[in-house]
Amino acid sequence: MTQPILQVSELKVYYHTSQGVVKAVDGVSFSLQKGEKFGLVGESGSGKTTTAMALMRLLNPPAFVEGGHITLNGRNLLALSEEETRRARGAEISLIPQGAMNSLNPVMRVRGHFHDTIGAHRKVSRGEDMSTTIERLLRKVGLPPDVANRYPHELSGGMKQRVIIAMSIALEPSVIVADEPTSALDVVVQMQVMATLDQVQKDLGAAVILVGHDMGLMAQFCDRIGVMYAGTLVEVAPVSQLFEDPQHPYTQLLISSLPDFETKGRFRGIPGLPPSLRALPPGCTFHPRCPKVLDRCKTVVPAYREIAPARWVSCHLYDGGAG
Ligand code: SF4
Protein backbone atom coordinates (compact mmCIF):
# COMPACT_ATOMS: atom_id res chain seq x y z
CA MET A 1 0.00 0.00 0.00
CA THR A 2 1.30 3.46 -0.86
CA GLN A 3 1.89 6.24 1.62
CA PRO A 4 -1.49 7.57 2.85
CA ILE A 5 -2.40 11.09 1.82
CA LEU A 6 -3.96 11.72 5.23
CA GLN A 7 -2.98 10.09 8.48
CA VAL A 8 -4.87 10.74 11.69
CA SER A 9 -3.11 9.34 14.75
CA GLU A 10 -4.47 9.21 18.30
CA LEU A 11 -6.51 12.39 17.77
CA LYS A 12 -8.03 13.72 20.99
CA VAL A 13 -10.44 16.64 21.05
CA TYR A 14 -11.74 17.67 24.44
CA TYR A 15 -14.15 20.39 25.61
CA HIS A 16 -13.72 22.40 28.77
CA THR A 17 -17.10 22.75 30.44
CA SER A 18 -18.24 23.97 33.83
CA GLN A 19 -18.78 20.31 34.75
CA GLY A 20 -15.30 19.24 33.72
CA VAL A 21 -13.58 17.98 30.61
CA VAL A 22 -15.68 16.29 27.93
CA LYS A 23 -13.79 13.88 25.69
CA ALA A 24 -15.60 14.37 22.38
CA VAL A 25 -12.92 12.54 20.38
CA ASP A 26 -10.61 10.30 22.32
CA GLY A 27 -7.77 8.63 20.47
CA VAL A 28 -9.09 8.32 16.93
CA SER A 29 -6.70 6.91 14.30
CA PHE A 30 -7.28 6.23 10.62
CA SER A 31 -5.62 6.85 7.29
CA LEU A 32 -6.78 7.72 3.82
CA GLN A 33 -5.25 6.77 0.49
CA LYS A 34 -5.24 9.09 -2.50
CA GLY A 35 -8.65 9.03 -4.16
CA GLU A 36 -10.23 6.91 -1.43
CA LYS A 37 -13.76 7.46 -0.16
CA PHE A 38 -13.96 6.94 3.58
CA GLY A 39 -17.18 7.11 5.56
CA LEU A 40 -17.29 8.21 9.17
CA VAL A 41 -20.55 7.02 10.65
CA GLY A 42 -22.08 7.24 14.10
CA GLU A 43 -24.96 8.50 16.21
CA SER A 44 -25.26 12.15 17.23
CA GLY A 45 -22.54 12.97 19.71
CA SER A 46 -20.28 10.11 18.60
CA GLY A 47 -17.55 12.59 17.63
CA LYS A 48 -17.69 12.33 13.85
CA THR A 49 -18.33 16.02 13.15
CA THR A 50 -15.82 17.07 15.80
CA THR A 51 -13.25 14.87 14.04
CA ALA A 52 -14.13 16.56 10.74
CA MET A 53 -13.78 20.03 12.27
CA ALA A 54 -10.42 19.07 13.77
CA LEU A 55 -9.21 18.00 10.31
CA MET A 56 -10.19 21.44 9.02
CA ARG A 57 -8.66 23.16 12.07
CA LEU A 58 -12.04 24.76 12.59
CA LEU A 59 -12.56 23.92 16.24
CA ASN A 60 -13.66 26.77 18.43
CA PRO A 61 -13.23 27.08 22.21
CA PRO A 62 -14.19 25.41 24.47
CA ALA A 63 -13.06 22.63 22.10
CA PHE A 64 -9.32 22.04 21.96
CA VAL A 65 -6.99 19.42 20.56
CA GLU A 66 -5.61 17.55 23.55
CA GLY A 67 -3.27 15.38 21.52
CA GLY A 68 -2.51 13.45 18.37
CA HIS A 69 -1.36 14.15 14.85
CA ILE A 70 -3.07 14.92 11.56
CA THR A 71 -0.61 14.51 8.71
CA LEU A 72 -1.75 15.73 5.30
CA ASN A 73 0.59 15.42 2.34
CA GLY A 74 3.43 14.79 4.78
CA ARG A 75 2.79 17.87 6.98
CA ASN A 76 1.35 17.86 10.49
CA LEU A 77 -1.74 20.08 10.15
CA LEU A 78 -1.87 20.64 13.88
CA ALA A 79 1.56 22.28 13.83
CA LEU A 80 0.75 24.81 11.09
CA SER A 81 0.47 28.51 11.86
CA GLU A 82 -2.85 30.28 11.38
CA GLU A 83 -1.68 31.64 8.02
CA GLU A 84 -0.41 28.24 6.85
CA THR A 85 -3.70 26.68 7.93
CA ARG A 86 -5.69 29.30 6.02
CA ARG A 87 -3.66 28.54 2.89
CA ALA A 88 -4.07 24.77 3.30
CA ARG A 89 -7.83 25.06 3.83
CA GLY A 90 -9.54 24.89 0.47
CA ALA A 91 -6.33 24.28 -1.45
CA GLU A 92 -5.26 21.02 0.23
CA ILE A 93 -8.29 20.07 2.29
CA SER A 94 -11.76 21.49 1.74
CA LEU A 95 -15.06 21.25 3.56
CA ILE A 96 -18.62 20.75 2.42
CA PRO A 97 -20.24 21.81 5.68
CA GLN A 98 -23.36 20.54 7.39
CA GLY A 99 -26.34 22.63 6.26
CA ALA A 100 -24.21 23.81 3.38
CA MET A 101 -27.26 25.18 1.62
CA ASN A 102 -27.52 27.87 4.25
CA SER A 103 -23.87 28.78 4.10
CA LEU A 104 -24.21 30.87 0.94
CA ASN A 105 -24.44 34.62 1.51
CA PRO A 106 -28.04 35.52 0.51
CA VAL A 107 -27.10 38.94 -0.85
CA MET A 108 -24.17 37.77 -2.95
CA ARG A 109 -24.45 36.27 -6.41
CA VAL A 110 -22.93 32.82 -6.92
CA ARG A 111 -20.10 34.43 -8.87
CA GLY A 112 -19.10 36.46 -5.82
CA HIS A 113 -18.78 33.31 -3.70
CA PHE A 114 -16.28 31.88 -6.17
CA HIS A 115 -14.35 35.17 -6.23
CA ASP A 116 -14.13 35.06 -2.43
CA THR A 117 -13.03 31.41 -2.33
CA ILE A 118 -10.39 31.73 -5.02
CA GLY A 119 -9.41 35.25 -3.97
CA ALA A 120 -8.60 34.03 -0.47
CA HIS A 121 -5.76 31.99 -1.98
CA ARG A 122 -4.40 34.06 -4.80
CA LYS A 123 -4.58 37.64 -5.96
CA VAL A 124 -7.60 38.26 -8.19
CA SER A 125 -7.14 41.57 -9.96
CA ARG A 126 -10.14 43.85 -10.26
CA GLY A 127 -10.33 43.46 -13.99
CA GLU A 128 -9.67 39.72 -14.04
CA ASP A 129 -12.38 37.75 -15.78
CA MET A 130 -12.90 34.60 -13.79
CA SER A 131 -15.97 33.66 -15.79
CA THR A 132 -14.27 30.82 -17.62
CA THR A 133 -13.05 29.25 -14.38
CA ILE A 134 -16.43 29.65 -12.69
CA GLU A 135 -18.31 28.27 -15.69
CA ARG A 136 -15.98 25.29 -15.84
CA LEU A 137 -16.54 24.57 -12.15
CA LEU A 138 -20.31 24.93 -12.48
CA ARG A 139 -20.35 22.60 -15.49
CA LYS A 140 -18.34 20.06 -13.51
CA VAL A 141 -21.21 19.83 -11.03
CA GLY A 142 -23.87 19.76 -13.72
CA LEU A 143 -25.03 23.37 -13.42
CA PRO A 144 -25.52 25.77 -16.35
CA PRO A 145 -23.10 28.71 -16.48
CA ASP A 146 -25.84 31.31 -15.93
CA VAL A 147 -26.12 30.08 -12.32
CA ALA A 148 -23.07 32.28 -11.67
CA ASN A 149 -25.29 35.36 -12.00
CA ARG A 150 -28.02 34.16 -9.69
CA TYR A 151 -28.58 34.80 -6.00
CA PRO A 152 -28.88 31.81 -3.63
CA HIS A 153 -32.67 32.30 -3.23
CA GLU A 154 -33.04 31.75 -6.98
CA LEU A 155 -31.61 28.22 -6.67
CA SER A 156 -33.17 24.97 -5.42
CA GLY A 157 -31.66 23.13 -2.47
CA GLY A 158 -29.89 20.66 -4.74
CA MET A 159 -28.47 23.46 -6.90
CA LYS A 160 -27.15 25.31 -3.86
CA GLN A 161 -25.52 22.12 -2.67
CA ARG A 162 -23.86 21.66 -6.06
CA VAL A 163 -22.57 25.24 -5.92
CA ILE A 164 -21.00 24.38 -2.57
CA ILE A 165 -19.43 21.26 -4.09
CA ALA A 166 -18.10 23.34 -7.01
CA MET A 167 -16.57 25.79 -4.51
CA SER A 168 -15.03 22.95 -2.54
CA ILE A 169 -13.14 21.75 -5.62
CA ALA A 170 -12.23 25.21 -6.95
CA LEU A 171 -8.67 24.94 -5.63
CA GLU A 172 -8.30 21.23 -6.42
CA PRO A 173 -7.75 19.93 -2.88
CA SER A 174 -6.43 16.44 -2.29
CA VAL A 175 -8.97 15.77 0.49
CA ILE A 176 -12.63 16.82 0.65
CA VAL A 177 -14.46 16.54 3.97
CA ALA A 178 -18.21 16.28 3.36
CA ASP A 179 -20.13 16.66 6.62
CA GLU A 180 -23.65 15.29 6.11
CA PRO A 181 -23.80 16.94 2.67
CA THR A 182 -27.34 15.81 1.84
CA SER A 183 -29.07 15.93 5.21
CA ALA A 184 -31.70 18.52 4.22
CA LEU A 185 -32.46 17.13 0.76
CA ASP A 186 -35.14 14.74 -0.46
CA VAL A 187 -33.97 11.30 -1.58
CA VAL A 188 -34.00 12.01 -5.31
CA VAL A 189 -31.95 15.20 -4.97
CA GLN A 190 -29.79 13.43 -2.40
CA MET A 191 -28.82 10.82 -4.98
CA GLN A 192 -28.12 13.50 -7.61
CA VAL A 193 -25.88 15.41 -5.21
CA MET A 194 -24.02 12.25 -4.21
CA ALA A 195 -23.57 11.32 -7.87
CA THR A 196 -22.15 14.81 -8.45
CA LEU A 197 -19.77 14.44 -5.51
CA ASP A 198 -18.75 11.02 -6.82
CA GLN A 199 -18.05 12.43 -10.26
CA VAL A 200 -15.98 15.41 -9.10
CA GLN A 201 -14.09 13.13 -6.75
CA LYS A 202 -13.19 10.89 -9.69
CA ASP A 203 -12.26 13.84 -11.93
CA LEU A 204 -10.04 15.35 -9.27
CA GLY A 205 -8.68 12.11 -7.82
CA ALA A 206 -9.32 13.61 -4.39
CA ALA A 207 -9.93 11.54 -1.28
CA VAL A 208 -13.28 12.13 0.39
CA ILE A 209 -14.30 11.75 4.02
CA LEU A 210 -18.07 11.44 4.14
CA VAL A 211 -19.47 12.14 7.60
CA GLY A 212 -23.00 11.00 8.35
CA HIS A 213 -25.35 8.48 9.86
CA ASP A 214 -27.14 7.20 6.75
CA MET A 215 -25.75 3.68 6.34
CA GLY A 216 -27.43 3.28 2.95
CA LEU A 217 -25.68 6.34 1.59
CA MET A 218 -22.40 5.18 3.10
CA ALA A 219 -22.77 1.75 1.51
CA GLN A 220 -23.31 3.24 -1.94
CA PHE A 221 -20.61 5.89 -1.82
CA CYS A 222 -17.71 4.71 0.33
CA ASP A 223 -14.81 2.31 -0.14
CA ARG A 224 -14.23 1.95 3.60
CA ILE A 225 -16.24 2.88 6.66
CA GLY A 226 -15.23 3.84 10.18
CA VAL A 227 -17.87 3.42 12.89
CA MET A 228 -17.68 5.86 15.79
CA TYR A 229 -19.16 5.43 19.24
CA ALA A 230 -18.81 7.81 22.19
CA GLY A 231 -15.76 9.56 20.77
CA THR A 232 -13.81 6.54 19.57
CA LEU A 233 -13.57 4.48 16.41
CA VAL A 234 -14.90 1.04 17.24
CA GLU A 235 -14.55 -0.56 13.81
CA VAL A 236 -13.01 0.25 10.43
CA ALA A 237 -13.47 -2.05 7.44
CA PRO A 238 -13.93 -2.11 3.67
CA VAL A 239 -17.59 -1.38 2.98
CA SER A 240 -18.62 -4.85 1.76
CA GLN A 241 -16.95 -6.59 4.71
CA LEU A 242 -18.51 -4.19 7.18
CA PHE A 243 -22.01 -4.91 5.90
CA GLU A 244 -21.57 -8.65 5.28
CA ASP A 245 -19.54 -9.51 8.33
CA PRO A 246 -19.53 -6.77 10.97
CA GLN A 247 -17.27 -7.62 13.90
CA HIS A 248 -18.00 -5.11 16.65
CA PRO A 249 -21.29 -5.73 18.50
CA TYR A 250 -22.30 -2.08 17.99
CA THR A 251 -21.75 -2.35 14.23
CA GLN A 252 -23.65 -5.63 14.21
CA LEU A 253 -26.63 -3.99 15.92
CA LEU A 254 -26.38 -0.92 13.69
CA ILE A 255 -26.57 -3.08 10.56
CA SER A 256 -29.22 -5.45 11.85
CA SER A 257 -31.41 -2.45 12.69
CA LEU A 258 -31.50 -1.37 9.04
CA PRO A 259 -34.96 -1.97 7.59
CA ASP A 260 -35.53 -4.62 4.92
CA PHE A 261 -38.61 -6.15 3.31
CA GLU A 262 -38.40 -9.42 5.22
CA THR A 263 -38.71 -7.69 8.57
CA LYS A 264 -41.18 -5.04 7.40
CA GLY A 265 -43.34 -3.84 10.27
CA ARG A 266 -40.87 -4.89 12.99
CA PHE A 267 -38.72 -2.08 14.28
CA ARG A 268 -35.36 -3.14 15.62
CA GLY A 269 -33.11 -0.70 17.34
CA ILE A 270 -30.08 -0.70 19.57
CA PRO A 271 -31.13 -1.11 23.20
CA GLY A 272 -30.41 1.75 25.58
CA LEU A 273 -29.07 5.19 24.80
CA PRO A 274 -25.61 6.49 23.91
CA PRO A 275 -23.78 7.52 27.09
CA SER A 276 -23.28 11.10 28.12
CA LEU A 277 -19.75 12.17 27.23
CA ARG A 278 -19.63 13.84 30.66
CA ALA A 279 -20.05 10.51 32.43
CA LEU A 280 -18.74 7.73 30.22
CA PRO A 281 -19.03 4.17 31.54
CA PRO A 282 -15.71 2.62 32.61
CA GLY A 283 -14.05 0.01 30.43
CA CYS A 284 -15.72 -0.34 27.05
CA THR A 285 -18.13 2.59 26.72
CA PHE A 286 -20.58 0.35 24.87
CA HIS A 287 -20.76 -2.26 27.65
CA PRO A 288 -24.11 -1.16 29.20
CA ARG A 289 -25.77 -1.77 25.80
CA CYS A 290 -23.75 -4.69 24.56
CA PRO A 291 -25.44 -8.10 24.25
CA LYS A 292 -22.02 -9.82 24.30
CA VAL A 293 -20.55 -8.04 27.31
CA LEU A 294 -17.80 -9.86 29.23
CA ASP A 295 -16.68 -9.19 32.78
CA ARG A 296 -13.53 -7.38 31.74
CA CYS A 297 -15.51 -5.10 29.40
CA LYS A 298 -16.81 -3.30 32.50
CA THR A 299 -13.39 -2.23 33.71
CA VAL A 300 -10.81 -2.54 30.92
CA VAL A 301 -10.79 -0.30 27.85
CA PRO A 302 -10.45 -2.54 24.77
CA ALA A 303 -7.47 -1.94 22.49
CA TYR A 304 -8.05 -0.78 18.93
CA ARG A 305 -6.33 -3.46 16.88
CA GLU A 306 -6.04 -4.78 13.33
CA ILE A 307 -7.69 -8.21 13.47
CA ALA A 308 -7.31 -8.95 9.74
CA PRO A 309 -5.87 -6.95 6.82
CA ALA A 310 -7.62 -3.54 6.72
CA ARG A 311 -9.99 -4.58 9.52
CA TRP A 312 -9.71 -2.66 12.78
CA VAL A 313 -11.85 -3.32 15.84
CA SER A 314 -11.92 -2.12 19.40
CA CYS A 315 -13.51 -4.97 21.35
CA HIS A 316 -12.46 -7.56 23.93
CA LEU A 317 -14.02 -10.33 21.85
CA TYR A 318 -10.93 -10.10 19.68
CA ASP A 319 -8.34 -10.09 22.45
CA GLY A 320 -7.46 -13.68 21.57
CA GLY A 321 -8.87 -16.00 24.14
CA ALA A 322 -12.36 -14.67 24.57
CA GLY A 323 -13.93 -14.62 21.20
FE1 SF4 B 1 -19.25 -5.61 23.94
FE2 SF4 B 1 -17.15 -6.04 25.48
FE3 SF4 B 1 -16.84 -5.75 22.89
FE4 SF4 B 1 -17.47 -3.67 24.39
S5 SF4 B 1 -15.58 -4.81 24.48
S6 SF4 B 1 -18.36 -4.21 22.45
S7 SF4 B 1 -18.82 -4.61 25.88
S8 SF4 B 1 -17.94 -7.40 23.93
- At 90 the pLDDT is 86
Residue 28 lies in a domain: yes
- Give the DSSP letter of residue 311: E
Residues 276-306 have pLDDT tens digits of 888 899 999 999 999 999 999 999 999 999 9
Residue with CA at minimum distance from ligand 1 atom 8: 293
Residue 1 lies in a domain: no
Long-range contacts at 71-74 (CB < 8 A, ≥ 24 apart)? 71/6, 71/7, 71/8, 71/9, 72/5, 72/6, 72/174, 72/175, 73/5, 73/174
End-to-end, the C-alpha distance of the chain in Å comes to 29
Q: How many Cβ atoms from other residues are within 10 Å of residue 243's Cβ?
A: 16
- Residue 19's identity, in one-letter code, is Q
Give ligand 1 pocket residues (Cβ under 6 A). Answer: 248-249, 284, 286-287, 290, 292-294, 297, 302, 315-317
Measured in angstroms, how far is the CA atom of residue 25 from the centroid of ligand 1?
19
Domain, as residue range, for 113: 6-318
Residue 131 sits in a domain whose CATH number is 3.40.50.300
Contact 296, 282 (CB under 8 A): no
Determine the atom of ligand 1 nearest the C-alpha atom of 287.
7
pTM of the model: 0.91
Residue 52 lies in a domain: yes
Measured in angstroms, how far is the CA atom of residue 303 from the centroid of ligand 1?
11
Determine the atom of ligand 1 nearest the C-alpha atom of 234.
6
Residue 265 lies in a domain: yes
Residue 277 lies in a domain: yes
- Phi-psi label, residue 106: left if phi above 0, alpha if psi -120 to 50, beta otherwise: alpha
Residues 152-211 have pLDDT tens digits of 999 998 899 899 999 999 999 999 999 988 887 888 888 888 998 999 999 999 999 999
Distance CA 39, CA 287 (A): 24
Determine the atom of ligand 1 nearest the C-alpha atom of 296.
2
Contact 275, 281 (CB under 8 A): yes
Please report which helix (H) or strand (E) contains residue 208, including its range: strand 207-212
Count how many domains the chain has. 1
- Pocket probe for ligand 1: among 307, 316, 318, 319, the residue whose CB has the most ligand atoms within 8 Å is 316
- At 44 the pLDDT is 87
Q: How buried is 120 (Cβ within 10 angstroms: 0-12 exposed, 13-18 middle, 19+ buried)?
A: middle
- At 20 the pLDDT is 86
Residue 264 lies in a domain: yes
Residue 56 lies in a domain: yes
Measured in angstroms, how far is the CA atom of residue 218 from the centroid of ligand 1?
24
Mark the ranges of the chain whose per-residue pLDDT is less than 70.
1, 100-101, 123-128, 259-268, 321-323
